[in-house]
Structure 1
Amino acid sequence: MTEAIASSWTTGIVREVERFGETYVRLRLEVADRHDHVPGQHYVVRLRAPDGYTAQRSYSLASDPADPLIELMVECLPRGEVSGFLHDVVEVGDELELRGPIGRWFVWGGEVPSLCVAGGSGVVPFVSMLRYARRMGTASQLTIVASAQTRERLPYIEELEEFGAFIALTRENHGDRVAAHIYPDELAELSKGIERAYVCGSAGFVSFVGRSLGEAGVPSSIVRVEQFGVTS
């Protein structure tokens, strides 16, 4: 699969908005002059105030490249000027400034067996990967592990369950699994036979998973990381 080249700034028309409580908003946009993306890439969304002030943030794509619209799942962060606006204000028909798709490192085209480990909203790029894998018939190449505090805090949990993802909730049980963080031995078992690993989440989550993968014998050279903070 050929990696898309980041485009210049363009515009996207919001065609669908779905809000999930006070935490997440799912936006689906029709993008002008769109370049097809590769699973794992992201877009930058830029807001512009009447006085010329701008603020921008990067958001991973959840959509399959074959989807006619791009899909973003945005977590509303405390004091997040961009995420707050997208969650609270944006409506169908609004126009947003966009640039993308962006990213060459954190991408997956189905060519190698891979493990994806996500914390909370870090699962979004892996949803793009799983949708692509299902369409292309390469789902057996992809193993997804997702962790969050509760079901409500994990976007796309129903879709992840249908895909067969390993889900670890830390504040409530999930099926037969008692509430707990991901155990290192669970990662060790799930990482058998992989040729690449992707990790996406907060700094603390990424650090923990990186150590656990190392203890399981996964070479650091095959681990690709995307890390975010409270204001990213």
Structure 2
Amino acid sequence: MELRLDVHDRVDHLPGQHYVVRLTAEDGYTAQRSYSVASAPGDPLVELFVERLDDGEVSPYLTDVVEPGDELEVRGPIGGWFVWDGTTPALLVGGGTGVVPLVAMVRHARDLGRLDLLRVAVSARTLAELPYADELAEAGALVVTTREAHGIRPAARLTAMDLLPLWEEGQTAFVCGSAGFAEAASQLLVGLGIPAAAVRVERFGPSALELPKR
């Protein structure tokens, strides 16, 4: 679900940054989660993508309870390493909801008229489970699905041969997804000869609790 916020005294974010949303119960108990920003810096609102987790403490409230006009406690933007400045070529590789910060990069590039700077490859189990699928496809992204065929491509994981035509000298690679996806994708890139220093990785999930969750 897309959650669009009017943030008072907002500081413009960079594509790739995230916000922390904090909820406080009547008894004083608090829970907070980090969500990557999907909107471009030029968007007057801050758009977060919230994946509903049945056993979550925060996402069910944000997806099922929050209504237009409600106030939320947020902090951000946060993060300075996994960001794209809009001026240099980049290869974006995302898995599942890990595409969210990459969408912000795509939107920023579109606003600047520089989509030519980006090459994008994304993967999900099914097309229905891929956030912003239509928008990514319109931006020229390679879309791979692992549980169903997509177009003329059978169900399959992202491979080195998928990424090889997208890589160009001088790019920075941004990889975002679950810990398993991020590890596999970054290994594919390094295996192609891409310098490890040129690969920036953001993981989320149980083994990366300190990083943004979605």
Q: Normalized against structure 2, the TM-score is what? A: 0.94
Aligned letter for 1:131?
R
Q: Name which of 56, 59, 64 aligns with 2:35.
A: 59
1:32 matched residue in structure 2: 8
2:81 matched residue in structure 1: 105
For residues 97-149 of structure 1, give each alpha carbon's deviation from its aligned partner in whole angstroms, at most 9, with x where no partner exists.
00001110011012221101000000001111111101101111111111001
Counterpart secondary structure, 2:63: helix
Q: CA deviation at 1:193?
A: 2.8
Q: Name which of 17, 37, 57 aligns with 1:41.
A: 17
Root-mean-square deviation over aligned CA pairs: 1.2
Counterpart secondary structure, 1:71: strand
Q: Name which of 194, 206, 218 aligns with 2:194.
A: 218
1:79 matched residue in structure 2: 55
Distance in 1 (CA, whole Å) between partners of 2:57 and 2:141 is 32
Q: CA deviation at 1:195?
A: 2.0
1:174 matched residue in structure 2: 150
1:148 matched residue in structure 2: 124
Aligned residues: 208
Counterpart secondary structure, 1:36: coil
8 Å contact 1:169–1:180 — kept in the other structure?
Answer: yes
Q: CA deviation at 1:188?
A: 2.1
Q: CA deviation at 1:78?
A: 4.0
Aligned letter for 2:139?
F
Aligned letter for 1:95?
E
Structure (1 or 2) with the greater strand fraction? 1
Distance in 2 (CA, whole Å) between partners of 1:66 and 1:156 is 18
Distance in 2 (CA, whole Å) between partners of 1:80 and 1:190 is 36
Distance in 1 (CA, whole Å) between partners of 2:129 and 2:169 is 30
Percent identity among equivalent residues? 56
1:164 matched residue in structure 2: 140
Q: CA deviation at 1:157?
A: 0.3
Q: Name which of 204, 207, 214 aligns with 1:228.
A: 204
Q: CA deviation at 1:194?
A: 4.4
Counterpart secondary structure, 2:50: strand
